[in-house]
Amino acid sequence: MLEKLHDTLKLRTNPLLFFASSTFVLVFVAVTLVIPGASDRDPDSEDYVPYDEVGYGMADFWSAAAGWIFEHFGWFFILGVTVFLLFLVYVAISRFGRLKLGGDEESPRHSDMAWFGMLFAAGIGTILMFWAVAEPAFHFAEPPRGAELGIEGGTEQAARDAVGFTLYHFGLHTWTIFTLPGLAFAYFIYKRNLPPRVSSLFQPILGDGIHGPIGKAIDIFAIVGTIFGIAMSIGLGTTQIHAGLAARFEFTEADWGRLVIIAVVTIVATISAVLGIDRGIKVLSNFNIGVSVLLLLFVLLTGPTIFLLRGMVESAGTYVSILPEVALWNDTFGDTGWQQDWTIFYWGWTISWAPFVGIFIARISRGRTVRQFVTGVLALPTMFTILWFGTWATALFDIELFGDGGVVDQVLEEGAETSMFALLEHYPWATLTSAVAIMLVGVYFITSLDSASLVLDDMCNGYDGEGRPKGRTAPHQRAIWAIYIGVVAAVLLVFTGEGGVEVLREVALVFGLPFFVLAFFMMYSLHRAFREDAGELGHLPSRRWLQTLPPEEYQRRMEEDDPELVEAVVAPDYAEGTQPENAPDVDHAEQPEVVQEYRIRTGEQPVIDPTTAEPTEGDDSSRG
């Protein structure tokens, strides 16, 4: 039945993954529309409906689930991200850092500048715009460790702590959450030639079970979790665009205004997604990073330039000094609950959409070494983050400590989404710069959504759709994923009452916990693959792995008489004669009937010359 519906819709994907994920999203949307939530989310209100009474809605369900996770697993989130960071540093400086993410002689496909720009296309650009002023403002008013260290809000010490914690949240630790799955995807997709699915990251553990029930369950959960994680980012971007339009251009403050914003951006993102990376996302990303730098330079040059430069440099020192202390800080003795609203939420939300960011970063990083990948994805964005937040935060503190003030009060009263526009009011040409900021958020919004739809499409296809011959991809599949994300963001933002953004946060956190657990298995799986392919000692030639296709895609290509199948398998396997002499033995996988049928019918066998690790011509010998 699923196959028939799949073919009727002219899709080219895995029917189970596509329809199971779609069903979950559509049921979620329907249930949320029918029972959105309690009339008032304030527990002290007379109209509030407790969770344990009949009548509570989806908003209350997610709030209760997130509260339970905060209470019992907050420490696990704090520990996990720091462990991931230490693991990445280890693999980068180890001999495995010389391994190529692709063929041993392959070169990077994008320049360093284009690569750097596209790193922000995966969603983090929207977050940088949203929190650039908002988070330092909140921490300046209410220092995270105020009760513990006696820091008073609104002081110079509060300013230092505010910028330190802001950089902790958006520096190395956030990019660690993206780098770990990104490295794993890049290795297993481009070194072992496995399908671009989350299940592929566990191939050393599951073997050909990546195509089985466990692998399918992992992939379905990853697809659904990614949709909700990106929806959170889209929700934040929508509220900021809406706030800027309402404040500067008298745009309606009604909920339908948010729906219009989401609809417009979804349409534009869908067009960009259909165009692909080189013609769509790459162009938009380069434009975005350029305009972002111009906006930053505007603040530097029209504000107290020397003061801002000094503050930016000092912010880097504050971050370096505070990092060892806060990396494992759990607010154990103060127990103020601050981390639930900030650090734990950030880590849970970020990892819920890390599979999407990981695949996207892997796709733009092919041909780089492990060391280049880890260093670049961790260091370059973190350096830019320090420049970005250091400048905006120092500008905020200048206004609050030495100027007219008022920005922090406005943020606390009207919400984080107004923060950047409130600060720009203190600079020349506020209307123009606010318009530029709105445009930036919108374009970051678009690149997040279109890159997400591309990645979700690949995760369901089981192969990289970029560069495939016509007929191998169905562009309308990408449109479907973009629409799903837009609909989920709209439903949670508009139809769950006053706490729409809060519900988005809670849903993302619930999906984040299982990913955190899987990330520990991911580290083991990746390290095991390094050891198997490169050997324990000596230089680092590696096994050459044949391209692994999902069974349904192999069957389709066999029916199309695809000559490339001579170098493809279904059960993950490597080419005979390409393993280093001192590498641990890995048994060849027994291929299923569809592969045997193809080989018998064509008389073809994948043959590798051990001296070049490349296919030979005219050689009929068996792989053994």
From 534, 564, 589, the end of a domain falls on: 534
Asked if residue 599 and residue 501 are part of one domain, the reply reads no
From 534, 565, 591, the end of a domain falls on: 534
Asked if residue 461 and residue 330 are part of one domain, the reply reads yes
Residue 572 structural domain: 547-615
542 domain-assigned = no
- Per-residue pLDDT tens over the stretch 455-511: 888 888 877 655 444 445 667 787 888 888 888 888 877 765 555 567 767 877 888
- Per-residue pLDDT tens over the stretch 69-110: 988 899 999 999 999 999 999 999 999 999 999 888 888 888
Asked if residue 610 and residue 488 are part of one domain, the reply reads no
**Which CATH number is 355's domain given?**
1.20.1740
339 domain-assigned = yes
**Structure confidence at residue 595 (pLDDT):** 84
222 is written with which tokens?
Answer: 């990853």
622 domain-assigned = no
Residue 566 and residue 440: Cα distance in Å, rounded? Answer: 47
Asked if residue 388 and residue 309 are part of one domain, the reply reads yes
The total number of structural domains in the chain stands at 2
Q: What single DSSP character describes residue 591?
A: P
- Per-residue pLDDT tens over the stretch 303-315: 999 999 999 999 9
Band (pLDDT 50/70/90 cuts) for residue 46 is: low
| CB neighbourhood size of 617 (10 A) | 6
The string of DSSP letters for 92-112 reads HHSGGGG-BSSSTT---SS-H
Residue 332 has pLDDT above 70, yes or no: yes
Spatial neighbors of 415 by CB under 8 A, at least 6 apart, are 239, 243
Secondary structure of residue 609 in the 3-state scheme: strand
Asked if residue 82 and residue 181 are part of one domain, the reply reads yes
**Structure confidence at residue 289 (pLDDT):** 76
511 domain-assigned = yes
Angle in degrees, CA 73, 75, 80, rounded to 5: 95
The string of DSSP letters for 527-588 reads HHHHHHHH-SSSS---PPBPEE--HHHHHHHHHTT-GGGGGEESS--B-TT-S-TTSPP-PP
Band (pLDDT 50/70/90 cuts) for residue 172 is: very high
Asked if residue 513 and residue 404 are part of one domain, the reply reads yes
Q: What is the mean pLDDT of residues 234-253?
A: 76
From 503, 534, 565, the end of a domain falls on: 534
Asked if residue 504 and residue 557 are part of one domain, the reply reads no
Asked if residue 555 and residue 504 are part of one domain, the reply reads no
Residue 540 has pLDDT above 70, yes or no: no
- Per-residue pLDDT tens over the stretch 270-294: 776 666 555 555 666 667 778 888 9
Asked if 509 and 352 count as a contact pair (C-beta separation under 8 A), the reply is yes
206 domain-assigned = yes
Asked if residue 130 and residue 15 are part of one domain, the reply reads yes
Asked if 12 and 472 count as a contact pair (C-beta separation under 8 A), the reply is yes
Asked if residue 567 and residue 514 are part of one domain, the reply reads no
624 domain-assigned = no
Asked if residue 563 and residue 503 are part of one domain, the reply reads no
541 domain-assigned = no
Asked if residue 298 and residue 411 are part of one domain, the reply reads yes
540 domain-assigned = no
